[in-house]
Amino acid sequence: MNETTTAPKTISIDLDRLAERVEKAASMVQQLRDDRERLSREREQLARRVQEMEQKLQGQDAGALLQELNSLKREQRDWVSERRDVTSRIETLVKKLERIEA
């Protein structure tokens, strides 16, 4: 009699576990569908942006763009160097002013 009462309990427990697994699987499938939809929209947006950029760059010489980029990088380095020089000069002046005030 013990076997007959435990068998239905075991089946019930197994069915509960199976139901939990099915619910988790269904939830995961729905999440994957949502992710796929979101990624599809993002891919379409990126494709449009790439197409827009290609249209903007159409007819422009890549070599000339690289040359301009290098020129801008040099200019940036010059500005950074000049900024350092100015900072150094200001620090020197501040130190001199501090000595005068003391």
Residue in 85, 16, 69, 47 with CA at minimum distance from that of residue 24: 16
| Judgement on whether residues 77 and 28 belong to the same structural domain of the protein | no
Per-residue pLDDT of the chain (102 residues; tens, 9 = 90+): 455 566 677 888 888 888 999 999 999 999 999 999 999 999 999 999 999 988 887 878 888 888 999 999 999 999 999 999 999 999 999 998 888 887
Structural domain boundaries enclosing 70: 61-102
| Judgement on whether residues 53 and 80 belong to the same structural domain of the protein | no
| Judgement on whether residues 48 and 3 belong to the same structural domain of the protein | yes
| Judgement on whether residues 15 and 27 belong to the same structural domain of the protein | yes
| Judgement on whether residues 38 and 85 belong to the same structural domain of the protein | no
pTM across the whole model? 0.44
Please identify, among 43, 59, 75, the residue that sits at the C-terminal boundary of a domain.
59
What total of structural domains would you count in the chain? 2
Q: 3-state SS of the chain?
A: CHHHHHHHHHHHHHHHHHHHHHHHHHHHHHHHHHHHHHHHHHHHHHHHHHHHHHHHHCCCCHHHHHHHHHHHHHHHHHHHHHHHHHHHHHHHHHHHHHHHHC
